[in-house]
Amino acid sequence: MKISRRLGLISLSFIVCHLSFSPVRAQRTETSYQIGLGSTKILDTYLSQEKFHGEGFTFLSVSEPRGQVWSSVVQNQVHLTSAEDRAGHESVLEGCYNFMWGRYCRVYNISGMFDLRVGALGNFGLGFIYNTRNSNNPAQARLGLQIMPSAIANYRFRIFRTSTRLGRLGRATLRYELDLPLVGVAFSPNYGQSYYELFSQGNYDHNIVPTTFVSAPCFRQQLALSHKVNRSLAVSVGYLGDFQQLRVNNLKQHVLSHHLMLGIMKGL
């Protein structure tokens, strides 16, 4: 009897999983690859009280399905920056990888021309800030996870309003995404604590810190205009504003970037 119940539960679980994942497989997925250049401001009081400004590079890939009420969006972002202080005496190197997975519900749709999706985004970040002048504690690790409310809006229109082939390829999409801070967790040394104390001597001092929109007021926004050049390919130009801030353990850190993005999109 127990074996029969277990087999029944396994069968029911298999059916539920099959029904859950079958629509996902049928979804039409669009993937974009973008590169960007722009300005970045950096502050990390663990390394220096100085503020740094420089030029940064970003690579961003976004994969998202179309035409579904519920959808999952996956993003991978790599950011690298070289910056100097105001006097040009100190310099820092900064790098970070962010993996973002979001789950969205389409709450508004007008005949496929305009749609609005809202949901939540998990943002995992791993990176570093390295001060080239420091001999003691020259680097700072960046590690954190944030849960962020998120919204994506798409407006689709035609540039050429004709029935010719030129008109069919004149389709364009304006996309805007906004990710806001809520809660999370981050790694940070405490004020005056060295990495030697932390890792060699094992002196833990509140180094894994819960964060909120007050202590980590990070937010991120994307604006992209894409234009279809053939049936399965589009080119895009846009803006990425990524504002990562953290204030814990009596230390402040921020990496604020404004980047112009160029890219291609496939799978339309």
CATH number for the domain including 211? 2.40.128.100
Average pLDDT for residues 216-245, to the nearest whole number? 94
User: In angstroms, how far is CA 221 from the centroid of its own chain?
Assistant: 9
- The CA distances from residue 170 to 12, 28, 156, 225, in Å, are 48, 20, 11, 13
Residue 132 has pLDDT above 80, yes or no: yes
pLDDT computed for residue 169 by the predictor: 60
Q: Is residue 10 part of a domain?
A: no
Average pLDDT for residues 20-35, to the nearest whole number? 69
pLDDT computed for residue 16 by the predictor: 40
Q: Is residue 18 part of a domain?
A: no
Q: Is residue 9 part of a domain?
A: no
Q: Is residue 245 part of a domain?
A: yes
| Distance separating alpha carbons of residues 242 and 126, to the nearest angstrom | 15
| Domain total in the chain | 1
Instruction: Residue 69: give the domain boundaries.
Output: 29-266
What are the pLDDT digits (tens) for 94-122? 999 999 999 999 999 998 899 999 999 99
Residue 225 has pLDDT above 70, yes or no: yes
Q: Is residue 262 part of a domain?
A: yes
Record the pTM: 0.84
What are the pLDDT digits (tens) for 154-203? 999 887 665 555 555 678 999 999 999 999 999 999 998 988 888 888 78
Element (H, E) at 166: helix 165-168
pLDDT computed for residue 3 by the predictor: 39
Q: Is residue 12 part of a domain?
A: no
pLDDT computed for residue 133 by the predictor: 86
User: Confidence class of residue 1 from pLDDT cuts 50, 70 and 90?
Assistant: very low
Residue 93 has pLDDT above 60, yes or no: yes
Residue 89 has pLDDT above 90, yes or no: no
Q: Is residue 89 part of a domain?
A: yes
User: Confidence class of residue 22 from pLDDT cuts 50, 70 and 90?
Assistant: very low
As given in the structure block, the two tokens for residue 230 are: 């053939």
Average pLDDT, the chain: 87
pLDDT computed for residue 25 by the predictor: 45
User: Confidence class of residue 135 from pLDDT cuts 50, 70 and 90?
Assistant: confident
- Is-contact 223 239, C-beta < 8 A? yes
Q: Is residue 24 part of a domain?
A: no
